[in-house]
Amino acid sequence: MYFLNQTVWLLIFVLFIPLIITTMITLRFYFNLMLIDYH
């Protein structure tokens, strides 16, 4: 049971960390675009 739980958490980490990184990068990209647009 504990091993299964650990595996599930590992899978969640492996799936969600790239998602969070990509969302942060895209948000930064859009933010930069807006800044360039405004200036």
Q: Determine the pLDDT at residue 15.
A: 94
Nearest alpha-carbon partner for 26 in 11, 34, 13 = 34
Q: Determine the pLDDT at residue 39.
A: 60
- What gap in Å lies between CA 39 and CA 6, rounded to an integer? 49
Q: Determine the pLDDT at residue 36.
A: 78
Give per-residue pLDDT as tens, 1-39. 677 788 999 999 999 999 999 999 999 999 998 887 766
Domain boundaries along the sequence of the chain: 10-39
- What gap in Å lies between CA 28 and CA 8, rounded to an integer? 30
What SS3 class is residue 39?
A: coil
Predicted TM-score of the model (pTM): 0.55
Conformation bin of residue 31: beta by default, left when phi > 0, alpha when psi is -120 to 50: alpha
Q: Determine the pLDDT at residue 8.
A: 92
